[in-house]
Chain A
Amino acid sequence: MIASLARWFDSRTRAAAWVRKALNHVFPDHWSFMLGEIALYAFVILIFTGAFLAVFYEGSAAKVIYHGAYRPLDGVQMSAAFQSVMHLSFGVPAGLLFRQMHHWAADIFIGAIVAHLARIYFTAAYRKPRELNWLIGLTLLVLALANGFFGYSLGDDMLSGAGLRIGYAILLSVPVAGPWLAFLVFGGTVPNAGTLPRLYAWHIFLVPALLALLIGLHIAVIWRQFHTNYPGPGRSDKLIVGSRLWPTYTLKSIALFLAIFAVIAAMGAWLQIDPVWVYGPYKPVGILPGAQPDWYLGWVEGAMRLFPGVNLRLWGELIPEVFFPGFLFPILVFAALYSIPFLDKLLTGDVRAHNALRLPMDHPFSTSLGCAVFTFITVLAFAGADDVAAAVSGSSVIALRTVLRIVVFVAPALVGAAVFVLCLALGKPARGREAVSLAGESERDHAHS
């Protein structure tokens, strides 16, 4: 039956030769090459669960009175959006399951992207010809972060409402264009009736369309360039070693998709996430402590908590203090990330094309810098949760903040130094003969071509 179906398609597309080539496409085998796939499949699950949610969600800020299944909110005024989320959670079969699966999938999606980014960085897979995919991938991360933020703000609950207010304040703080930018994105001061509909449109249409397009491009480029290999016997810049797409890789890939789906289903079933009915509908006078954004924005939150209250003026006009940690700092971080392939070329002087990865140990500076930056971001993320840490441990949040202001600089320096020393001990210079043979082999291939 498959054969006749295949013949039917081939008669209309002349695809047999391409299909053969595709089935034989070689993919190197290593578990660390599957991190991007985890993100990809999480995205697929997001689309699937999101489609279900979109049927029930109402992106409107119109005021309604709730008389639904959840008694503690009976008679409470709320937006139609919040009411639709309540109905989805309490009135629709499998509604809460899909809502929780969607939110967990989003957290895992971005987690997998970050893990994948780390792997690419530490193995220097961004070198020529893969700078293109690095740029595309980083843009995917930015879009994913934005969509996550828009997504959990759609519930219009007290927790996400705080996040919207803070996002508004950050945009407002940009010098010169701030108020215009804030009003463009949010449709006016927050809260206002225009915010939710535009966030909804961006969350379910604009950003996912961009994501899908860029993911397609990302995969197309990988396909075209063939995946990298770790250096080793038989592997070099000129040869690819791995298994063919069919059947091995396909089976493993499908299994991974199902495993991701299973994990997300299990989490959606047994771990409660974003219980909006306890947070309550967004009210301007309400606020919760423990008001953190979702984890992937925790580093920005931490920066905002630790950055001191400085009053700076430019040409007599106020630059609000929240501009530096909230807007400038993330922009600088992403600017640095975008420029990594080009900085790498500048620092190492290596402009050749590479298809073999660079082991982290072989480049102590790059690896230790990466570890230091990672530590910095992690400490910031922890600082973003300092009030939770203080409440749970019974300590003073103000004392914790003072300590963190020191740790945020000391810890990355220590970690960076330690990793640097470790790399020197374990890296290429220490491996001696083996390293020479690797270099010798790739030079031989280069001479042959």
Chain B
Amino acid sequence: MSEEFPEGGGRERGSEPDGPHPSSRAGEPSASAGKPRPSSPHIWGTFLAAGSFLASICGALEFLFCYWRGGGTQALGGWLALFLAGMALGLVFSAHRLAEHHEVTEEREEMESPPEARAAAALEFNCGAATLERRGLLKGMSAIGLGMVAAIFVSLLRSLLPNPYQSLDEKVWKRGQRLMTADGEPVKADALPPGSTTTVFPEDRIGEEKAQTVLIRVQSQFLELPAERADWAPMGNLAFSRICTHAGCPVGMYEKTAHLLMCPCHQSTFDVLRAAEPTGGPAARSLPQLPLYVDADGMLRAGGGFTQPPGPGFWGMPS
């Protein structure tokens, strides 16, 4: 690496075999910005570069050693990181020391083609297009063919798409179904003490996402259900869809002293005593309620389906 540089205005050293670079302009005052910096032997830089590469080699060897001996994530990744970092630093030190930083100045090309070139290209296109013009029928038919291909591709989307409303509209529970825990046990009306909660499902859909229902027991005197739902909570047992009406997360958080159900995803809160009315947060609709009654054996049963299809809202939702 030579340390000598032409003074003032040199874009680069004329070491290229083909002569000076054709596109740089000579004698421009702007070239003063591109004065090359002389690089003196930088011992410290060499030392650092060599040291980095050495560390990198050590890292690579240790990585291979660890890999074949079955090392953990920290060991493997650590040595890999050392290998890579050593290489990176070594290259930077080398670049700083070895490759002279000299700026070059070049003229920029306009991005718009000159008018002659544009005209020539347009002429080529028009000549070709003109030959097509004469075959009007063929042109029409190929257009229709292309249209058909597009239509076929679009209609193939149907394969990816079942009809959504079949599953979206259903209200899950049927009258008379027993409330079952996740373990498959029916729930008695007096099983839960007030302040307790559990998750229940219809008999035939235990564990299903859509069917999950939260059962809460509160003290009856605190209930403030609407008049038409007055008998939906036998012995203070309330059941609601456990799927938040906002974005579909399970509303798992029950705060028994405030009688609030809260969804952990976006902190929508529902007042259990008022038929899970939304009291704060981004949810706009109450959790669908499940009417309950107690059968002859003291078991809780559903008095019908949910008041609305469970889960987040959608266009065309029955109200």
Contact = CB atoms under 8 A, between A and B. Distances in A.
Real complex partners, A and B? yes
Interface of A: 20, 24, 26, 29, 93-94, 96-97, 100-101, 129, 162, 165-166, 168-170, 172-180, 182-184, 187-191, 198, 224-226, 232-235, 237-244, 247-248, 251-252, 254-259, 261-263, 265-266, 268-270, 284-291, 301, 304-311, 317-322, 325-326, 353, 355, 386-387, 397-398, 401, 449
A239 B107 contact: yes
A162 B249 contact: yes
A322 B85 contact: no
B167 interface: yes
Interface in B64-112: 67, 70, 73-78, 80-85, 87-89, 91-92, 94-95, 99, 101-112
Contact of A266 (B30, B81, B248): B81
Contact of A269 (B76, B92, B108, B210): B76
A326 B95 contact: no
Interface stretch (B131-139, B140-148, B278-286): B278-286
Given A175-B315, A255-B91, A318-B313, A285 B212 contact: yes
A305 B77 contact: no
Contact of A321 (B33, B73, B246): B246
B252 interface: yes
Interface stretch (B158-166, B223-231, B298-306): B158-166
B44 interface: no
28 contacts: A26-B104, A29-B103, A94-B76, A100-B73, A165-B249, A169-B312, A170-B247, A179-B316, A189-B168, A189-B311, A225-B111, A233-B32, A235-B30, A241-B33, A243-B102, A248-B101, A251-B92, A261-B88, A262-B81, A266-B78, A269-B73, A269-B74, A270-B74, A270-B78, A291-B265, A317-B316, A320-B317, A398-B281
A288 B267 contact: no
Given A93-B70, A243-B104, A255-B95, 16 more contacts: A20-B18, A29-B103, A173-B315, A179-B316, A183-B164, A190-B209, A241-B103, A242-B104, A265-B80, A269-B78, A270-B78, A284-B207, A304-B246, A305-B266, A309-B268, A311-B285
Contact of B160 (A187, A190, A256, A287): A187
Contacts of B268: 309
Contact of A234 (B32, B111, B248, B284): B32
A284 B282 contact: no
Nearest to B283: A309
B220 to A, nearest CB: 27
Nearest to A301: B266
Contact of B182 (A183, A189, A285): A285
Nearest to B245: A320
A-B interface, 6 closest residue pairs, ranked by CB to CB distance from nearest: A269-B77, A320-B313, A284-B209, A234-B33, A309-B284, A262-B84
B104 A241 contact: yes
A396 to B, nearest CB: 10
B106 A239 contact: yes
Contacts of A263: 81
A240 B108 contact: yes
B190 to A, nearest CB: 24
B311 A169 contact: yes
Interface string B191-225: 00000000100000001111010000000000000
A74 B201 CA distance: 26
Given A170-B247, A262-B81, A320-B312, A309 B282 contact: yes
A232 B34 CA distance: 12
Interface of B: 12, 18, 21, 30-34, 67, 70, 73-78, 80-85, 87-89, 91-92, 94-95, 99, 101-112, 157, 160-165, 167-168, 182, 199, 207-210, 212, 242, 246-250, 252-253, 264-269, 278, 280-285, 311-317, 319
Contacts of B78: 266, 269-270
Contacts of B282: 304-309, 321-322, 325
A169 B248 contact: yes
Given A179-B165, A321-B283, A233 B67 contact: no
Contacts of A325: 282
A178 B314 contact: yes
A270 B77 contact: yes
A389 to B, nearest CB: 12
A129 B208 CA distance: 55
A224 B109 CA distance: 9
B307 to A, nearest CB: 14
A252 to B, nearest CB: 6
A93 B315 CA distance: 49
A400 B107 CA distance: 56
Most chain B beta carbons < 10 A, residue from A24, A96, A288: A24
Given A287-B252, A291-B249, A320 B108 contact: no
Nearest to A286: B250
Given A162-B265, A191-B209, A239-B30, A269 B107 contact: no
A285 B168 CA distance: 19
B91 A284 contact: no
Given A304-B282, A397-B267, A182 B164 contact: yes
A234 B110 CA distance: 18
Given A184-B157, A262-B88, A266-B81, A318 B250 contact: no
Nearest to B87: A258
Nearest to A309: B284
Contacts of A100: 73, 77
Nearest to A176: B315
Contacts of B248: 165-166, 168-169, 190
Contacts of B167: 188-189
Contacts of A269: 73-78, 80-81
A20 B19 CA distance: 13
A270 B77 CA distance: 8
A100 B157 CA distance: 35
